[in-house]
Structure 1
Amino acid sequence: MGFQTGVGQRTALVTGSASDRGIGYATAQRYAQEGWAVALLDLDAAVVAEKAASIASQYGVPTVGIGCNVAEEDSVAAALATYQAAALPPLGAIANVAGVASPPDFLDLTLVEWNRVIGVNLTGSFLICRAFVPLLIEGGYGRIVNMSSVTAQHGGGVFSKTAYAAAKAGVIGLTKGLARELATHGITSNCIAPGAVDTDIRVGSTDENEAALSAAIPLKRQAKREEIAALYVWLSSEDAAYITGTTQSINGGSYIA
């Protein structure tokens, strides 16, 4: 649940949360369903504001939608200021969901593409945490949940390749570092490593490729967005207070460490 005994309602900050078929929006909805207030961040300020209003109407919780490019320091700073002005309940969870795919082969990989992928997937998680973690410390309760990928664990094989694998492997390292450094504040830090999920992130993927992805999974299907969202919210709960520094695989058996 999104309530800490004796404290009251808390806010979950969810990045990459404006797409109807995205993990971020499903996660924001699940937090709200569990009673959290929700701050939604995404590139498109108008769309994310609409999504925030929809969640507020549906679940009756405080929300705010904020336009933000997580890969840009100034944009994250502006998002922090907007968040603070919204005067939501104390921040209790940071859910870094924003990400971009990258299917080019390594020998075709440009520095521009490399920087784009590292910027959104890894630097974005760093910038959001650096800006908002002080609010977790101030509030006395904190959960960080970052988005890695099965691609980081086996080097590709889903859709994206080396740049994405490197970025998402970096997220695992970031998550572990935060777990060690922030433990003294009672803040936990974990990441989720999904396999193929039924979203639109694989831009340009064909029906044949999607069918092949599903066929290669032992459970013979892709994950539902809501299944990833449920894990985000559980890792943010009081029940998960002793879990930190972990990578939670949720891939239908496509990668078993």
Structure 2
Amino acid sequence: MGHALITAGTSGLGRKVIEEFLRAGHCVTTTYCKNYEKAKKVQEDLGAYSHHLHIVQTDVTKKSELKKLVDAGIAKFGGIDYLINNAGPFVFDRKKLMDYTEDEWYEMVEGNLSAVFYLLRLTIPHMRQQKFGRIVNYGFQGANSASGWPYRAAFAAAKSGLASLTKTLAFEEAENQITSNMISPGNIVGDMKEASIEESRKTFDSKTPIGRSGTGEDIARTIMYLCEENSDMITGSVFEVTGGLDVIHRYR
């Protein structure tokens, strides 16, 4: 089967994604930044797939570490077929743009936009050579139209830029049978990031129109569909997986 590079797959929304790729028979190279204990537990929990799972410590805001990550993945499993850009720093404190520090701005732009650029440069040559590739980036609800997101200015600016990059790449690489799409998760928080759909249906969520919280499995299922060989007609698209919730304006 193929080889998937999935950033930040040992926790949060990336956890279910690496599980789905492994269960589908693919090899997976994934990353963690600081939480070694969590990464170690994932390796243990997925012990049945130990020969197909490679975890590398990586800070996605550092270009040199991204180069080492791709080199390590290729050395382990060969060329990369699927690039899932799940990692992305986020400032959880709600504050206006003028209250952001320069370091916070840099982290948002480097981690959410520039890191994807560097990884594309490192992986697309392999995809071109084999005439196949699937790229999935993460956005936010409204990224497709560059919506303003109060108190999330730096993150929204980087992700809106990534939405444009996603579409441009789709046009430029279509001739090489490489697709490029974006998935925008809804308000998936806490344990729900690593939960299954079945688990979410046990508790009614009055804030989400469909009546249950979104989960990591919802995101993973969508990504797996976009990565299928026969999904080649789907490229340059942004998919919002929100359960009907207006994420940006829910506080108003």
Same fold (TM over 0.5): yes
Deviation of 1:90 after TM superposition, in Å, equals 3.9
Q: Which residue of 2 aligns with 1:93?
A: 82
Please give the per-residue CA displacement for 1:13-38, whole angstroms capped at 9, x wherever unaligned. 1001122xx11111111111122111
Q: Which runs of 5+ in 2 are unaligned?
A: 194-204, 248-252
Matched, 1:25 2:15: yes
| Residues 33-182 of structure 1 mapped to structure 2, 5 A cutoff | 33-44=23-34, 46-47=36-37, 50=40, 53-54=43-44, 57-59=47-49, 62-86=52-76, 88-102=77-91, 103-150=94-141, 152=143, 154-156=147-149, 161-182=152-173
Q: AA paired with 2:188?
A: V
Q: AA paired with 1:109?
A: Y
Tell me how far apart the structure 1 counterparts of residues 164 and 20 of structure 2 sit (CA, whole Å): 27
Q: AA paired with 1:10?
A: G
Please give the per-residue CA displacement for 1:91-136, whole angstroms capped at 9, x wherever unaligned. 2100000012223222312222111111111111111111111122
Q: Which residue of 1 aligns with 2:199?
A: none
Q: Which runs of 5+ in 1 are unaligned?
A: 1-8, 203-213
Instruction: Check 1:201–1:171 CA distance in 2 against 1; reply closer, same or farther (3 A cut).
Output: farther
Instruction: Check 1:135–1:188 CA distance in 2 against 1; reply closer, same or farther (3 A cut).
Output: same
Q: Which residue of 2 aligns with 1:208?
A: none
Contact kept? 1:215, 1:221, Cα under 8 Å = yes
Query: Scaled by the length of structure 1, what TM-score is found?
Result: 0.81
Q: Which residue of 1 aligns with 2:197?
A: none
Aligned-residue Cα RMSD (Å) equals 2.6
Contact kept? 1:151, 1:161, Cα under 8 Å = no
Deviation of 1:218 after TM superposition, in Å, equals 2.0
Please give the per-residue CA displacement for 1:180-225, whole angstroms capped at 9, x wherever unaligned. 11111110000001111134799xxxxxxxxxxx644322443111
Contact kept? 1:198, 1:225, Cα under 8 Å = no
Please give the per-residue CA displacement for 1:145-164, whole angstroms capped at 9, x wherever unaligned. 0001115354326xx61111
Query: Scaled by the length of structure 2, what TM-score is found?
Result: 0.82
Tell me how far apart the structure 1 counterparts of residues 102 and 126 of structure 2 sit (CA, whole Å): 35
Q: Which residue of 2 aligns with 1:250?
A: 241
